[in-house]
Amino acid sequence: MATSLSNMFLKGIANRSLSRPLNGLFYCTRYSTSVSNDSDTHDDFKPANKLEGSGISLTNVIEQDVKDNPVMIYMKGVPDSPQCGFSSLAVRVLKHYDVPISARNILEDVELKNAVKTFSNWPTFPQVFVKGEFIGGSDIVLNMHQTGELKEKLKDVTSKQ
């Protein structure tokens, strides 16, 4: 029971705070791991065991992110307002394709940032995942765009509604 509640909670984080395209525009909310400390969060919705900060729960969030979102980018800033040239470049390249782009802003959360680095064993951002596969950073995304590999990878990704 505790486990399933915890999973529901994690899924809740994953669903609520992703930047998802909405009518062609990016609808962005801020990601935060400090949910359970919010004064307006009811005790029932807190994780049964304190996992936040340990990296375990965040790894679950990342696994769910890359599984549920065919194009997932961990970046500095949000797609419509990148806070770094490399993140900006990666988003610009991905926007060439008619695919939904899901994003998390790692500047908002140092724990998430570290968890993503550990997850992919990659030290810098942005980090792009396509269909669960780690693709790389902006240099690689740009290169794959230029060689046509990215088009091939994204061809069976459902286009935006």
Partner 1 sequence: MGSRGAAAAAALSRASRIRSKLQSALEATVLEVDDVSNQHAGHAAVRGSSDKETHFNVKIVSPKFEGQSLVKRHRIVYDLLADELQSGLHALSIVAKTPRETKPAQ
Nearer to partner 1, 9 or 129 (CB): 129
Residue span binding partner 1 (CB under 8 A) among the ranges 5-13, 14-22, 51-59, 78-86: 78-86
End-to-end CA separation in angstroms for the chain: 36
Q: Quick one: which of 83, 111, 153, 157 contacts partner 1 (CB under 8 A)?
A: 83
Tokens of 73: 């980018």
How many Å apart are CA 145 and CA 135, to the nearest integer?
12
Nearer to partner 1, 11 or 131 (CB): 131
Length of the chain: 161
Q: Quick one: which of 13, 14, 58, 144 contacts partner 1 (CB under 8 A)?
A: 144
Return the sign of the alpha-carbon dihedral for residues 30, 34, 37, 42: positive
Residues in region 84-113 near partner 1 by CB under 8 A: 84-86, 107
Residue span binding partner 1 (CB under 8 A) among the ranges 15-23, 35-43, 94-102, 117-125: 117-125
* Non-local CB neighbours of 27 within 8 Å, separated by 6+ positions: 19, 20, 21
Q: Which residues contribute to the site for partner 1 (CB under 8 A)?
A: 76-77, 83-86, 107, 121-124, 134-140, 143-144
